[in-house]
Amino acid sequence: KCRTGPMDIVFVIDSSRSVRPFEFEIMRQFMMDIIGSLDVGPNATRVGVIQYSSQVQNIFSLKTFFTRADMEKAINSIVPLAQGTMTGLAIQYAMNVAFTTQEGARPLHKKIPRIAIIVTDGRPQDRVTEVATQARNAGIEIYAVGIQRADMNSLRAMASPPLEEHVFLVESFELIQQFGKQFQDKLCGVDMCMEREHGCQHSCISTPGSFYCECNPGYRLNMDGKTCSPIDACADGRHGCQHHCVSAHGSYSCRCRAGYYLNQDKRSCTMIDYCSFGNHSCQHECVSIPSGHYCRCRSGFTLQPDGRSCRATDLCNGVDHGCEFKCVSTEGSYHCMCPEGQQLQADGKACSKCGSGHVDLVMVIDGSKSVRPQNFELVKQFVNRIVDLLEVSPHGTRVGLVQYSSRVRTEFPLNKYHSADEIKKAVMEVEYMEKGTMTGLALKHMVEHSFSELEGARPLSHNVPRIGLVFTDGRSQDDISEWARRAKESGIVMFAVGVGKAVEEELRAIASEPVEQHFSYSADFTTMTHLVENFKLNICPEESKGETEFRSPCECEALVQFQTNTVAILQSLTEKNILWMVWLTVSLACLLAQMTARLEDLEKQIAKKK
């Protein structure tokens, strides 16, 4: 048997009218003798047969049969065509059809020899030189076997070099069987892997006159054709691992980040619930995070320095008051208040929402190391308070979220979610990045990507306002000036919110004009409530527009209302920090300016009536 390695062999048999019936039977036997010497199979040698005269007929392709019995049965059923001798056409068919991967030929990179055995008894009636050259250049090794009346020049034009090893002329059909034994030796040759130092790291595969190297499963052959490297099974991105993919010996396994465990599907990860261990000692609530846990107090309570116990402050902080904007404690009770220009709703808690103004809003939040995990949770609550103010829908307000530290990550684009509940859920699932503070890089990402139509921003021709809100707690580690300027030049209304060690100069550089209406600051993360309302008043056009009802400030009802509001604000003043006092002073000044303007309008109306 010929066991020097797999081959793809196609017999190209002349069945023109010059081949007499008994001679064609000898050709059948020649093919079966050759096949009988081969180790055939899907992973061994594959065999195909075509016959030709004035046309070409495929008897069976390289992928049709994998046993000698099936091949012999098909060869015995061949009916000769008995027409002309179009050898060039047959070679063209072998190159373009028979030796394609669709018909069962192995890919060229596997280096499995492609061998065509042409058996003819006459002179071709078409040109063979050019098409045979193309076939040889395509990697097909051609053996030309002429019988009796065959033209030697044509055989030499068809065959592969060296010609003395690929051109054979047999004097008669009767001698072809004896020639077949010699041809078998020529085709099979010696085991080249045994005859020379092949240098293959894993396996050597012998072929007629040569050899090639193969690697074990899970490895790929290197460019040197001899050594092997492990296949990175993670590289194609189809592993489905939620966190990390670890490649090993052609396979892979999924691994979770610290603070998570691998689920039963061996792909997805779930955060470890450290609070469930029962040793947290939190007085109110325990909150699990990937790095451990922290304690959180219920609304109206303050976490104490021990990080576990909670203490109530005023009544507003001791009950679940539900006030949307502000809770004002009074003796033995409390009531809710809304900012000027907004009405308290019938439930006594909610304020009018930003409904008619549709915007594309992208919030860019600082996830640097200085924020700390517990404060990052407060930042997410701050974001959701803003979302609560908006009427979110595909045709209304759209919201996107970007987090940055030393790099920038889009948490979700403008076209990802279409309801406030979906957005708030996604916000609470955002993971804290930590590391540096590259605010300039985040602004660049926002301008180039977040407000692109690809990520859901509506075309500028629709005149939908584009609003960017940047939230940071410290100095940027890169330059912000260029991309802050580009953002505003591209039509984005920029708001800057700073907390703690945020730099006022940078906040002002980010904010749109007038700057005073577009930047806000809070001393720490627990006093950010008023920042939400500042933002609402500036993005909700209906909060400051509409018909004005002029009332005399001297009317008893107006005086009582003003006195009540002022007393309530003063009562809550002792619980706030110095920045809240500044905000109150500005608010009272604005109130006085509005009352003065209303008096002037009232005087004008009275003068007109006179």
**What pLDDT was estimated at residue 461?**
84
Sign of CA dihedral 586, 513, 408, 418: positive
C-alpha to C-alpha distance for 63 and 49, rounded to whole angstroms: 11
Residue range 360-539, CATH number: 3.40.50.410
pTM, 2 dp? 0.37
C-alpha to C-alpha distance for 443 and 510, rounded to whole angstroms: 9
**What pLDDT was estimated at residue 389?**
81
Q: Which amino acid is at 326?
A: K
Domain ranges (residues) in the chain: 7-188, 314-354, 360-539
Contacts of residue 103, defined as CB under 8 A and 6 or more positions apart, other chains included, come to 48, 61, 62, 63, 97
**What pLDDT was estimated at residue 333?**
73
C-alpha to C-alpha distance for 551 and 80, rounded to whole angstroms: 111
Give the mean pLDDT of the chain.
83
pLDDT tens readout for residues 290-319: 888 999 988 767 888 999 988 786 667 666
C-alpha to C-alpha distance for 549 and 216, rounded to whole angstroms: 86
CA distances from 84 to 4, 55, 571 (A): 37, 8, 112
Q: Which CATH code, of 3.40.50.410, 3.30.390.30, 3.40.50.150, 3.10.20.30, is assigned to 7-188?
A: 3.40.50.410
**What pLDDT was estimated at residue 1?**
47
Query: Which secondary-structure segment (H or E) carries 519?
Result: strand 519-522
| Residue ranges of the chain with per-residue pLDDT less than 70 | 1-5, 172-191, 208-209, 300, 313-315, 317-319, 331-332, 339-343, 345-346, 352-357, 526-534, 536-591, 593-594, 597-598, 605, 608-610
- Nearest C-alpha neighbor of 179 from the set 37, 33, 68: 33
339-357 as b/e: b if 16+ CB within 10 A = beebebeeeebbbbbbeeb
CA 606: distance to chain centroid? 67
Cis peptide bond N-terminal to 514, omega within 30: yes
**What pLDDT was estimated at residue 172?**
66
Architecture of domain 314-354: Ribbon (2.10)
**What pLDDT was estimated at residue 554?**
44
Domains 7-188 and 360-539 share a fold: yes
C-alpha to C-alpha distance for 178 and 129, rounded to whole angstroms: 29
Sign of CA dihedral 82, 84, 87, 93: negative
CA angle 205, 211, 217 (to 5 degrees): 35
C-alpha to C-alpha distance for 60 and 468, rounded to whole angstroms: 68
**What pLDDT was estimated at residue 279?**
86
- Nearest C-alpha neighbor of 93 from the set 51, 65, 133, 129: 51
**What pLDDT was estimated at residue 562?**
52
